[in-house]
Structure 1
Amino acid sequence: MNRALDGVTIADFTQMMQGPWATQKLGDMGADVIKVERLGGEWERTLEAGGRLLDDVSPFFLAMNRNKRSITLDLKSDDGREVALDIAREADVLIENFRPGVMETFGLSYEDVTTVNPELIYVSATGFGSDGPYAERPGQDLLLQSMSGLARYTGRKDDPPTPVGTAVVDEHAAMLIALHTMFALFHKERTGEGQRVEVNLLNAALDFQCQELTAALNMDVEFERSEEGIAQAWLGAPYGIYETADGHVAIAMAPMPLLAETLDLPELATYTTAEETYESRDEIKRILEAYTREQASEDLLETLLAEDVWAAEVNDFQDVAADPQVEHNEMLIELDHPTEGTFTTAGIPVEMSETPGDVRSPPPRPGEQSEAVLTELGYDAAERERLAKEGIVGGL
């Protein structure tokens, strides 16, 4: 079958998660993603998980860089800049996530690059935007969880501000990059015009909190976290995680009369309005958890799900890997890496009937495709050898 982005070339100047996860999404759909890295490879390759690497490579890098070809360049050199411009000249899209001004120092600004490719889509991803009072600040997921209010509203009332357990701001920003790159490609398909696209972490962090932000800024209510751990500062009981005799179970929205009848807890039936379930959320959670602590997780879930109460297991990743629905969805895949062996990672999350994505290659070694990329750009053997000897291009 055809892939949706067959024939589209992405010049990928990104690192860490905000950019590389976006370009992997595009690569999964068929784009030729040319990953332009510094000599030796991008920093994420050596970012430890739990203080360790998976053999010699970060599992984080392996998770976000399949379906790409790597060329390593000294972008500070004139010859390295020329190679980068040659890549951009043949590309449909350039994506970068350096701090504002860095691409300019390389001679690869929007103005520089569109001089050689006027129809290029040029995507810049930053922490706070290309200008403004915070433009020069470091932009990183934890910092944006904190600045955007997310950490302040996560956890229990007496806990310190609590970040969530994944790089959620980077992840949403990556999806915005991929989505708006597609918007720009669609526009280019219709008009032939390229354009500049700017994505930043601050806007992404506010975007995915649109519900909570709108409530806080427009209602005369002082929202705060619950004492007992209702999982959202903006919602009433039972929304939260409940201890059981052998683990935990999550219960989302559920009418109190339904829970009262299902669990034979008549005291819950007295809470009949949304206001009551919010104002008394801690008391309700204490009543419910006193009951759930006496129940096995499997039995409790069976009882709740039989009455269509929104409930679920609370798993660790080993449980997730063995989950029958995860297995049915074929969401976890195994990839063979030339140096790291076989590893398990997340697959492609969306099914498309006519243009499905696929995994064609594992994450590349630094500069693994340098020679192939230069050859495609028209560099002959003598020129490739010179660039290698002078330390301009790695991997040759």
Structure 2
Amino acid sequence: MMTSEGKPEALDDMMVLDLSYANFSGNITASFFAESGAEVIKIEPPEGDPSRIISPYGANVKDVGIPYLMESRNKRHVVLDLSKPEDRENLKILATRADVLIETFAPGEMDDWGIGYRQLRELNPGLIYIAITPYGHYTAKGKEMAGMPWTDLTSQAESGLAALIGDLPNTPEPYNWPTRAGFYAAGYTSAVGAACGGLVASFFKRRTGEGQMVDIASADAYASCVGFPPTIGYVWKKPRFRYGTLDYGLCPYGFFKCKDSYVAIACFRDQDFRAAMRILGKWKLEGEWKTLLDRITDDIDKVKELNNEVEDAVGKYTYDEINEKFSSFSVKSARSKWRGGGLPVTTKMLTPKEVLQEKHWQVRGSFAKVEHPTYGIVTLPVTGKLSKTPLRVKWLSAEIGEDNEYIFKKYGLVKNTPGESHG
């Protein structure tokens, strides 16, 4: 397992202002910078960021929602009331020292306060200004919908993703309705785009000294997850419809129920399919479904027929039995030149609880346990393993205004709002 002990942080010379408000995209974007050593200052109004209370099933720790608690890692929490001129001046002081500013307000709102990109770049030409909104800043719709709050659901609807998720069109209503992705993925997809854009802008700044605006629309970010279906529809002249648990590009490629759990089976190449059929004792299917084009068609009934054959075979075994069959065959196949015997992939579907208990992820250090005097021990995911500058979680800090004293003193701000130091 890689450790961070004695190793530098890649962004320890960077200061980031996190002004995200009622929007997890901004919180998560700032977390990417914070894990790499940037000084991230989370700025909230006196009542706090509304994101604090959003949590699955209402689960919270000391009245702080678990998602917000996760995204508070390595951040300093400061209260600035941007409705007051004196605190807008404080923000300007911080912005002159900042490398990156992240905000999620409606297009034009920061400009109306005199602290938008146009105004702040006059004070700091090297500022990288990341704005995350539902529709972006520079279109008619972006301006028309400026007052609409950010939601993951509307981003899924506007990106085309929801139209692709759900059961087969010929399933009785309401079971054939579109289905949203099961978690708030827009927060993460937007954050990845924003963080990547911010880092690319940082490279440009180091070459030229110039900052720039990074304009992220959540629906844009989600549309990148949709992938090639829009292009398929344009070229093929047919829309890609919902396929339920089936896949429209590979077959078999999905989850199948065995005696005691579910198993994922993926056959990417023709030889992988042949190998899977031999392992499952379905030799007769090799000839009828010989090539990928035989197995993939817009005839859903034909695709279902093949998947039903696989499901019937898998259902006779436990997961361990299936895994042993595929693993022993795959080891032999991997040793053969060009893997000509095929290498079908299988793995068990794990619940989130099982993921936390999985030894492999523990050895990799994929989760960090952080102890906080108020919130107790909190387990957080840490993605990416960098050998020279590993990501790390150093602390959690989620009290409103917890770091006011420290930040006000460090940057010479005018003290208008009381707050406790992080220490």
1:278 aligned residue: 296
Matched, 1:265 2:282: yes
128-137 or 86-95: which moved more?
A: 128-137
Partner residue, 1:3 = 9
CA distances 1:168-206 after superposition (whole Å, capped 9, x unpaired): 222111011111111111111111111111111121112
Q: 1:184 aligns with which of 185, 193, 201?
A: 201
* SS, match of residue 58 in structure 2: coil
Instruction: Map 1:382-393 to 2 at 5 A.
Output: 384=415, 387-388=416-417
Secondary structure of the residue aligned to 1:208 is helix
2:316 matches 1:297: no
Per the TM alignment, residue 51 of structure 1 is displaced from its structure 2 partner at its CA by 2.5
Write the mapping of 1:141-160 to structure 2, written as runs, cut at 5 A.
141-157=152-168, 158=171, 159-160=176-177
Contact 1:29/1:358 (<8 A) preserved: yes
In the other structure, the counterpart of 2:362 is 327
Question: Residues 371-382 of structure 1: matches in 2 within 5 Å?
Answer: 371-379=405-413
Equivalent residue for 1:76? Answer: 83
In 1, the alpha carbon distance for the partners of 2:295 and 2:93 equals 62
Q: Which residue of 1 aligns with 2:333?
A: none
Instruction: Map residues 5-84 of structure 1 onto 2, 5 A cutoff.
Output: 5-15=11-21, 16-84=23-91
Gaps of 5+ in 2: 1-6, 331-342
Amino acid of the structure 1 residue aligned with 2:190: A
Distance in 1, Cα, partners of 2:84 & 2:381 = 37
CA deviation after TM superposition for structure 1 residue 221, in Å: 4.1
Contact 1:127 1:200 in 2 (8 A): yes
Instruction: Check conservation: 2:405, 2:419, Cα contact below 8 A.
Output: no
Contact 1:69 1:368 in 2 (8 A): yes
Matches within 5 A, 1:107-126: 107-126=114-133
Query: Residue 287 of structure 1 aligns with which residue?
Result: 309
CA contact (8 A) 2:355 2:361 kept: yes
Aligned CA-pair RMSD: 1.8
Of residues 247-256 and 337-346 in structure 1, the stretch that sits farther from structure 2 once superposed is: 247-256
SS class of match (1:11): strand
Q: CA deviation at 1:315?
A: 1.1
Alpha-carbon distance in 2 for matches of 1:40, 1:138 = 18
Between the aligned partners of 1:226 and 1:176, the Cα distance in structure 2 is 28
The DSSP-based 3-state class of the residue aligned with 1:266 is: coil
- The TM-score with structure 2 as length reference comes to 0.86
The normalised TM-score by structure 1 is 0.92
Deviations 1:193-229 (A, max 9, x none): 11111111121112232323322222234432336x2
DSSP 3-state at the match of 1:365: coil
Q: Provide Cα deviations, 1:14-54, integer angstroms capped at 9, x if missing partner.
A: 13321111111111111100111111321111113213323
The aligned counterpart of 2:213 is 196
> What is the CA distance between 1:394 and its match in structure 2?
4.7
* Conserved 8 A contact 1:92-1:121: yes
Distance 1:89 1:74, change over 3 A: same
Letter in 2 for 1:151: A
SS for the counterpart of 1:356 is coil
User: Which secondary structure does the structure 2 equivalent of 1:257 belong to?
Assistant: helix
> Where does 1:165-184 land on structure 2 (aligned, <5 Å)?
165-184=182-201
Distance 1:267 1:329 in 2: 42
Percent of aligned pairs with the same residue?
27
> 1:293 & 1:153 partners in 2: Cα distance?
28
The 8 Å contact of residues 267 and 276 in structure 2, kept in 1 or not, is answered as no
Cα contact 1:177–1:199 (8 A) shared by 2:
yes
For 1:375 and 1:365, locate their aligned partners in 2 and report how far apart those are by CA, in whole Å.
18
Return the letter of the residue paired with 2:13. G
Structure 1: tracts of 5 or more residues without a match: none
Aligned partners of 2:164 and 2:243 also within 8 Å = no
Letter matched to residue 340 of structure 1: Y
> Could you say if the C-alpha distance between residues 394 and 100 of structure 1 is closer, same or farther in structure 2, counting changes exceeding 3 Å?
farther
What are the within-5 Å matches in structure 2 for residues 191-270 of structure 1? 191-226=208-243, 229-230=245-246, 232=247, 234-254=248-268, 255=270, 256-269=273-286, 270=288
Native 8 Å contact 2:229 2:240 kept in 1 = no
Q: CA deviation at 1:367?
A: 0.8
Q: Is the 8 A contact 1:236 1:281 kept in 2?
A: no
What letter corresponds to residue 296 of structure 2 in structure 1?
Y
